[in-house]
Structure 1
Amino acid sequence: MVQGQLAKKILILSANPIGTDRLRLDQEVREIREALQKARNRDNFELLIETAVRTKDIQQIMLYNRPQIVHFSGHGAGNQGLIFEDIAGRAKPITTEALATLFGLCANYVECVVLNACYSVVQAKGIANHIGYVVAMRQEVGDEAAIEYSRGFYSAIASGEPYDMAHEYGRSAIQIEDLGEEMTPIIKKKIWINC
């Protein structure tokens, strides 16, 4: 890292509420951590992890951490939103509109959002109105494929690849493991309008 340059923050937000299918979120975090540790530019990144994230926590977490990359691991519910937890640990969605508004408020520091959740394209479209790069899953994604995508994506990021190329590395990681889901992750890019 160049002296005086701050490490890029990667914030992982995860939620697996009571009554939802169990996901291997700890395994995904471990793979991301190992991918970053093995990369040549590892000192350029700081990994921050927030688990069992409740809807009431998300604004404070974003304000406190001010991350450049936000990674959500959990359940998606298509048009209903992304599934976080309520105060009792039960499923509570945050709508696409609410997520887009939040990321609009964070657009001066967030560069990329990864929605590693089934059926999260709707949210990606809303968030991409404010954030440069947003990864989402176009349909249901298996645990193994979700984990492989994350490993490939963050290996590439920590090796100096840009977000769109890191996305291709994530898809390639799924393909290398012959999981048949390499077309599930997509990337949306913000359309920049000259003013």
Structure 2
Amino acid sequence: MTAASKAAQTAQDRLSREERTEESRRKRHEERAQRASDRDRRELDDRLSRAESAIENTIRAVQQPKPEKLRVLWLGASSLGDLRVGRELKIIRKMVQSAQHRESVEIDSRTAATIDDLLDGLTEFRPHVVHFSGHSDDDLIEFERDEDVIHEGTVVSAEAFANAVSSVDDPPSLVLLNSCNSAAQAELLVDGVVPFAIGMTDEVFDADAIAYAGRFYGTVANGQSIAAAHRVAKSKLEMDEDLSGDELPQLFVADGFDAESTRLVEPPDA
């Protein structure tokens, strides 16, 4: 090999080494750039994940309101002044105030209740329970008129009353008719109007109606189920008033609902 050939070969070898070195540097640079890109992407994904979690937690906090108080719309009507509806309300309040979860119950009481009181209470107060104390029979219920003297009340059919209760966007869960011969109306109410209803199978004396109502709401405010509150209140009548069988109030339950597991008042920490 001539000197010129050797020089050319040496130059070619040097160029090849430089090219390989440059290629190696280029690959290392690309690898570093790729690692940096991967790191940046992981950091971005991590930030996005934390942001999404924060948003989900915020949405969850907004969508989960604090537990509501039990709202009871109490309606008392005695146009002839022959029923002690005021005494009943007093005993109900007393029993609730003595209960463990008294702060979880709110009562909107409307004495001398008219049909407008019923409708206003349903739309403004949005009650979970509608309680009526007054006169009734199998298919009629009597409200007062807006008058200042003893008078004949406004008689409303059971169907009209049921239609009123079901007319609002959020009907109550329970209707308690603490009035004579109201069991038939209560049974009608659980046929597509409310999940639970309580009525009296016979005539009911003031003392019995008062005792049942007070004990029922006191038990509800202690966190017991609807069924348990009904049993406890009936026991009060059985022991104190010696009532039994058809003399006792009846609880009606719509298909698909369970009074044994339904509590109207949940403990604050439940």
Q: TM-score, normalised by structure 1?
A: 0.89
Separation (CA, whole Å) in 2 of partners of 1:15 and 1:49:
11
Separation (CA, whole Å) in 1 of partners of 2:103 and 2:132:
22
> Who is 1:50 aligned against?
110
**1:51-130, aligned counterparts within 5 Å?**
51-79=111-139, 81-88=140-147, 89-106=151-168, 108-129=170-191, 130=193
Of the structure 1 ranges 122-131 and 173-182, higher mean CA displacement relative to structure 2 is found in: 173-182
Separation (CA, whole Å) in 1 of partners of 2:169 and 2:197:
12
> Who is 1:187 aligned against?
251
| Residues paired across the two proteins, number | 188
1:14 and 1:50 in contact (8 A); partners too: yes
**1:115-154, aligned counterparts within 5 Å?**
115-129=177-191, 130-154=193-217
Q: TM-score, normalised by structure 2?
A: 0.65
Structure number with the higher helix fraction is 2
Write the letter of the residue equivalent to 1:31: I
1:99 and 1:123 in contact (8 A); partners too: no
Q: Percent identity, aligned pairs only?
A: 27
Could you say if the C-alpha distance between residues 179 and 143 of structure 1 is closer, same or farther in structure 2, counting changes exceeding 3 Å?
A: farther
Cα deviation, residue 109, structure 1: 4.3
Separation (CA, whole Å) in 1 of partners of 2:212 and 2:83:
15
Bigger RCO (CA 8 Å, 6+ sep): 1
Unaligned runs of 5+ in 1: none
Could you say if the C-alpha distance between residues 33 and 57 of structure 1 is closer, same or farther in structure 2, counting changes exceeding 3 Å?
A: closer
Unaligned runs of 5+ in 2: 1-64, 258-270
Separation (CA, whole Å) in 1 of partners of 2:130 and 2:230:
14
Write the letter of the residue equivalent to 2:136: G
Cα deviation, residue 192, structure 1: 3.0
Query: What RMSD over aligned residues (CA atoms) do the two structures have, in Å?
Result: 1.9
Aligned counterpart in structure 2 of residue 39 of structure 1, from 57, 80, 99: 99
* Bigger-Rg structure (1/2): 2
> Who is 2:60 aligned against?
none
Separation (CA, whole Å) in 1 of partners of 2:155 and 2:244:
25
Structure number with the higher strand fraction is 1
